[in-house]
Amino acid sequence: MNLYKAINRRRSIRNYGETGLSKTQLDEIEKSVNESRELFSGVSVDAYLVRDGQSLQQDISGIIADYGKVEAPHYLVLTSEDTQKGFVETGYRYEFIVLALAAQEVGTCWIGKGFRDEELSRHVQIPRDQTCTTLIALGPLPAGDNLHEIEDPKRKELSHFLINGDPNCFDEATLKIVDCLRRSPSSLNSQPWRVVLEHGAIHLYLRKRNKITRMVLKDMDRMNQVDAGIGLCHLEVGGRHCWDGAEIKKTPHPEKKGLVYIGSLKGQDRG
């Protein structure tokens, strides 16, 4: 299964099969994590595979996370520099891993951080210039479960994400790419993405919170940066499939009040 198809099948998995993944599968995941694709060069980001998920759960009080308990056989601990770029990079890089795992019918769930870095000390040595941003729980699906195509995901309508207009004014391929974005996972299913469509480009923005909300909801703000990176990954996968090639870039873009620009999908040979 390719990554495009995986977008339509992926969902967050919160219950896992009793036996974990095989050593070969885990070795493969570890290898792909270390070879993950880069969005911004020079941003300090890492991921560590914790094979014994149970022992991690015992050490981390907040793995119950922001909501809902997720007990998985394995985890990826994601770390980055404590900057907006670091959080966006984390979402972008590791959502490719999430989709690649979904393509192999391996379940995953992003988990917002609800614990201190020190609680991870038995499992991961976090570089001095980094902090743990999020976890990704992973493991086999429970017996009898599978990742089937989701026709109607729990998301807002496509038009909600478009700043300039009516979906009827855009071609089908472009709308399919926006649908890939819409299907991205996001913290608390907040779906904070907005897009401006231009010929051959999709510009991605995040809703801007005011300063007080940003301070009060600091963690939420950080998680939304991760959501933004995840959104860029889905745009890229959609663009490569539906536009015969596309890449993520920072490009000239319209300024939009109340929105922060994140990056653009630029189609090859499209304007």
Ligand X SMILES: Cc1cc2nc3c(=O)[nH]c(=O)nc-3n(C[C@H](O)[C@H](O)[C@H](O)COP(=O)(O)O)c2cc1C
- Cα separation, 65 vs 72, whole angstroms: 13
Q: Nearer to ligand X by C-beta: 114 or 167?
A: 114
Q: Which of 21, 50, 178, 230 binds ligand X (CB under 6 A)?
A: 230
Q: Are 227 and 192 in contact (CB under 8 A)?
A: yes
Report in angstroms how near the CB of residue 127 gets to ligand X at its nearest. Answer: 21
Binding segment (CB under 6 A) for ligand X, from list 39-47, 53-61, 159-167, 219-227: 219-227
Strand-pairing partners, residue 136, are 76, 110
Does residue 61 interact with ligand X by CB under 6 A?
no
Report in angstroms how near the CB of residue 235 gets to ligand X at its nearest. Answer: 15
User: Residue 118 to residues 11, 50, 67, 139, 222: CA-CA distances in angstroms?
Assistant: 30, 15, 21, 25, 19
Q: Are 202 and 171 in contact (CB under 8 A)?
A: no
Does residue 53 interact with ligand X by CB under 6 A?
no
Q: Which residues of 153-187 are buried (b: 16+ CB within 10 A; e: fewer)?
A: eebeeeeebbeeeeeeebeeebbbbbbbbbbbbbb
**Total site size for ligand X, rule CB under 6 A:** 22
Amino acid at 124: V
Amino acid at 55: S
**Site for ligand X, residues 62 to 121, rule: CB under 6 A:** 65-68, 70, 109-112
Token reading at 139: 């493991």
Q: Which of 46, 179, 227, 236 binds ligand X (CB under 6 A)?
A: 227
Does residue 193 interact with ligand X by CB under 6 A?
no
User: Residue 9 to residues 2, 20, 43, 106: CA-CA distances in angstroms?
Assistant: 11, 21, 30, 11
Does residue 214 interact with ligand X by CB under 6 A?
no
Q: Nearer to ligand X by C-beta: 117 or 164?
A: 117
Q: Nearer to ligand X by C-beta: 99 or 197?
A: 99
Amino acid at 10: R
Report in angstroms how near the CB of residue 271 gets to ligand X at its nearest. Answer: 31
Q: Are 240 and 202 in contact (CB under 8 A)?
A: no
**Site for ligand X, residues 115 to 174, rule: CB under 6 A:** 134
Provide the 8-state DSSP code for 145.
-
Q: Nearer to ligand X by C-beta: 12 or 44?
A: 12
Q: Which of 14, 51, 176, 270 binds ligand X (CB under 6 A)?
A: 14
Residues of this chain that bind ligand X (CB under 6 A): 11-12, 14, 65-68, 70, 109-112, 134, 185-189, 223, 226-227, 230
